[in-house]
Amino acid sequence: MPGGFVRFCFMNQAPPLGRSEPARPLPPDEAADRGQGTAQTLPDSIYRYAWKVSRRGQAVICVLSAVLIPLGTVPLDLQRRMVDTALGNKDLRLLLLLGGLYLVTILAQQSLKYGLNIARGWVVEDVTRRLRKTIYLRKDSLGSAQPGTKPDAGTAVAMAAAESEAIAGFVGDALSVPLVQGGTILFTFGYLAWVDWRIAGLTLLLYTPHYFVVHAVQQAINRLARTQAKVVRRLGHTLVRDAETRREGGRFATLVDLAYELRMRIYRRKFILTYLGNFLDALGPLIVLMVGGWFVIHGQTQVSTLVVFISGVQRVADPWDQLINFYRTAQIAQTKYRLFAQTLDGSGHHQPLGH
């Protein structure tokens, strides 16, 4: 079963609270970090970092994804056979048999998705733990412009809390989302093209422009996300400084307003993309009904083909939305990861907000 397979492949989870654990060797990456302190640098790409610290977990994710992806097209073919063969021939026995196969396929899909989610959760929590330990090991130099300067506690707290979880969350999705969602789209479109290439080609043309719009808008979101992350860090720094010096100033309020304005600017761009995605999701079945209906009326295709295409387009819509969201998340995660790595190396904390 997926759960047992995943448990076998992950042996470095933290022990339950209150229970001691015998000493064991540190993973190579963590041992190197302990031994070299601040001299150890993070890879420049979040994907290189993901493979460096979670290659075994990513391998499990790839295996589960490779088994799960082809199962996505099985229900589509079963639907077509149930309409064409079982209902067309009024064969109740065949209908029950195909229905049973449909149920088995659904159970297999959900079991594999459960195992995939467990594997992803292990990767996320393990990477979060590694990042937080790395921050702690380098806490004396975080935010210091030069040796001997007092470390920035606000930056350390922001990195150990939200930023570590955001980076680790992406690492967990780094391979699973593009593999599962991208593979589902390719297999589904491949099957639909095999059934009727004309309707499949029209559906593909409908979704293709969405990517180019997302790419253009996402560049602006990336710049805003990097600035917003720096503002949040300075919020923490200002709060700690004002608490230590027992003084009140307007800088904290100014930073709060700036963080609010940046977030609202991100929301406006983000929800434009959401609006476009939802519009395409609703437009797809309408295009299939109109074009496919024209083919049915003129005797160029069957009603069962139209049923399969309506179901297929709906099956493509959700993976497409998730793949677009993943692309946007990947861009923001890379931006935040670079800032995270630069801060650990002592080169990112004092850059101007707009850079």
Average pLDDT over residues 181-196: 86
pLDDT at 117: 92
Lowest-confidence pick of 36-50, 266-280, 308-322: 36-50
For residue 319, what pLDDT band results from cuts at 50, 70 and 90?
confident
Burial class (CB in 10 A: 0-12, 13-18, 19+), 214: buried
Q: Report CA-CA distances (Å) from 22 to 14, 19, 25, 69, 138.
A: 12, 10, 10, 40, 26
Lowest-confidence pick of 147-156, 177-186, 187-196, 221-230: 147-156
What is residue 16's DSSP assignment?
P
| Residue 17 pLDDT > 60 | no
Average pLDDT over residues 100-127: 93
The single residue listed with the structure tokens 């095999």 is: 194
Rounded to whole angstroms, how far apart are CA atoms 228 and 255? 10
pLDDT exceeding 70 applies to what percent of the chain? 80
Question: Which three-class secondary structure state does DSSP give residue 12?
Answer: coil
Segment 145-152 long-range contacts (CB within 8 Å, at least 24 positions apart): 145/346, 145/349, 145/350, 152/233, 152/237, 152/240, 152/349
pLDDT at 270: 84
| Residue 350 pLDDT > 70 | no
Q: Read off the pLDDT of residues 81-106 as tens digits, 9 standing for 90 and up.
A: 888 888 888 888 999 999 999 999 99
pLDDT at 347: 59
pLDDT at 148: 47
Q: Read off the pLDDT of residues 218-257 as tens digits, 9 standing for 90 and up.
A: 888 888 888 888 888 788 777 777 766 666 666 778 888 8
Residue 293: CB atoms within 10 Å:
13
Average pLDDT, the chain: 78
pLDDT at 248: 63
pLDDT at 26: 47
Is pLDDT larger for residue 116 or for residue 11?
116
Residue 28: name the closest of 47, 55, 46 by CA.
55
| Residue 13 pLDDT > 50 | no
Q: Read off the pLDDT of residues 51-66 as tens digits, 9 standing for 90 and up.
A: 999 999 999 999 999 9
pLDDT at 145: 44
